[in-house]
Structure formats: C-alpha cells, structure tokens
Amino acid sequence: MEGLFHSEEGAPIVLVGQPDTDRQQLDNPIYVPKALSFLTHRRWEAEVKGLNEFPRDRWPDNLPLLYYCYHIMVGLGTIFIAITTSAAFLLWRNRLFSARWMLWILMLSFPFPFIANTAGWITAEVGRQPWIVYGLLRTEQGFSSHVSAGNALFSLIGFMGMYTVLSVLFLLLMWREIMHGPEFLSASQLRPGVGIMPDRTSRREGV
C-alpha cells in the first residue's frame, strides 16, 4: 500500500508519488522521513520489509490501483479530521452558522465519505490478493462448485439494484432538505450566550 519495493531502515512514509512497478520505484515522491518505520514498529530506525522480500506471485495483482485507493482513503480521512476540528472550534466560538466559508466546505464535502468508503473497500479487496486466507487459501482456490456463474451474477445485480434505490432515495432526501432551506431563531427567542441554532418551530419566512 505504501509502495515500498525495497527493505529499508528508517523507512519514510510517502504522501504523494506514482508507483512504477516495472522499475520498482516511486516517481516524484514526497516523503515524511522515518514515519513508516515508526507507524509499523514504533521505532524510528526499524527495518520495514519491501515487496522484494516476497515472491512475485504473492504480490497484489494491481499495485497502482491499491496504492492510489489507499492514499485516497487516508488523504480524505485527514481532510475529514481538519474539517471536523475547524467546524467544532467555530461551533465552540458560536461562529459556525455565520461562517459562510465553512458552511460551503461542509456542504461541498458531502460526497467525500462515499469516495473514501469505496476507496477503502477497494484497498481491502485488492490488498488481500492473491489470498483469501493469507498463506493458506488463494483466491483462485476459493470458488464453490455448487454456485454457478448465473447465481453469482443474479446476486450481484440484486445488490446493485438495492444500492441504486438507496442512492436515489438519499439524493431525493438531500434535495428536499436543501430546498427546504435553513431555519433561524427570531431575535425574541435568542438568549445571551446562546448561539444561533436551528429551531424546528421557526422558519425563515416566519422571522
């Protein structure tokens, strides 16, 4: 997942880079020195084994896909922490609902959890290849002679249909809430030291 092809003591973690599996190196990398060794072994100078320590037939089938999906997942997770921390600070200062820039960020970031979740799922599935149970059962040995290709296709279409319906419902509910608009407290309802919070009993048109 980190694109470390060669074993290294004090291995750095890569923030940005492009894996080149033919030359077994990362192009245009941006490193954090020794961070990978610390995260893996809790020691800054610990040796981290590279992919070359393992037979080529035990490597994941698609290293670039695994690398990019993992970094998308981790990168979005870092962004979520930054957004949540900033929003919580503004809420604590009673400035969140008047900070338009943060409200825009919160609104525009709603697709990111779905992207991070999908990237994490791909990371888990591609990263475990070619194994179902590491060292015991390979993916090519995990098929069942009692389940036909048609049954697998039917199940796949069923899951795709279910998630399509859920996605459409989610978009409709989101659109309804957006068109409904924000809610405000009237001046008479505000108390000293209380921020402007949504109130189900007070609509914009009633203020």
Taking alpha carbons only, the member of 38, 33, 1, 31 closest to residue 14 is 31
Predicted confidence at residue 65, as pLDDT, reads 92
Predicted confidence at residue 43, as pLDDT, reads 86
Pairing of strands 25-32, 13-20: antiparallel
Both structure tokens of 35: 């961070």
Predicted confidence at residue 206, as pLDDT, reads 45
Predicted confidence at residue 158, as pLDDT, reads 96
Chunked in runs of 10, what are the mean pLDDT values of the chain (207 residues)? 83 85 84 86 87 84 90 94 95 91 91 92 90 86 83 93 94 88 64 50 45
Query: CA-CA distance, 67 to 144, in Å (whole number)?
Result: 30
Instruction: Region of 89 please: left (phi>0), alpha (psi -120 to 50) or beta.
Output: alpha
